[in-house]
């Protein structure tokens, strides 16, 4: 029986290829300027962090990376939309492989894990961008009240 970690291990290249191609199609200026090899390396790095966070059930690696990435991309003049698009296309590529590889009974758990990791990363990214843009600290969002009883 294959699990999420096995899918991420087995399909790393296909996931990165799919995400890089989707990012190229989205025509994000800074990623287009960086070139295909740089985009692919960035996607591999992000996928490795997602893998680590899922495998260890530890969000710190993705949060730390997202915070640093936001600072770097903000300083380089990236629009937050560009960086979020990169996260989104990688998450979508992972979902594609999960749905193609796992039995339907395992979709919720796998997609929940992946979604949690990306959600934490996007939250750290957005909070850092807003803090930098407004020159003030913005705490992480507490959305637990939205999920009570769900």
How many structural domains comprise the chain?
1
Tens-digit pLDDT profile for residues 57-70: 999 999 999 999 99
Identify whether 130 is part of a domain: yes
Give the structural domain span for 35: 4-141
The proportion of the chain whose per-residue pLDDT surpasses 70, expressed as a percent, equals 82
CATH number at residue 58: 1.10.490.70
Give the separation between CA 139 and CA 19, rounded to whole angstroms.
30
Q: How confident is the model at residue 35, as a pLDDT?
A: 65
Tens-digit pLDDT profile for residues 9-35: 999 999 999 998 887 777 666 565 666
Identify whether 78 is part of a domain: yes
pTM, two decimals, is 0.82
Q: How confident is the model at residue 7, as a pLDDT?
A: 94
Q: Minimal CA–CA distance to 8: which of 119, 113, 124, 135?
A: 113
């Amino acid at each position: 029986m294959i699990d999420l970690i096995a899918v991420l291990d087995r399909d790393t290249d296909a996931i990165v290829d799919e995400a890089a191609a989707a990012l190229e199609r989205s025509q994000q200026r800074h990623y287009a300027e960086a070139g295909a090899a740089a985009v692919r390396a960035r996607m591999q790095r992000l996928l490795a962090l997602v893998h680590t966070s899922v495998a260890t059930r530890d969000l710190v690696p993705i949060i730390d990376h997202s915070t640093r990435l936001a600072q770097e991309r903000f300083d380089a003049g990236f629009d937050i939309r560009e960086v979020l698009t990169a996260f989104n296309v990688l998450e979508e590529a992972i979902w594609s492989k999960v749905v193609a590889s796992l039995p339907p009974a395992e979709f919720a758990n796998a997609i929940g894990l992946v979604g949690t990791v990306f959600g934490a990363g996007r939250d750290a990214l957005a909070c850092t961008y807003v803090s930098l843009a407004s020159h003030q600290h913005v705490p992480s969002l507490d959305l637990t009240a939205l999920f009570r009883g769900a």
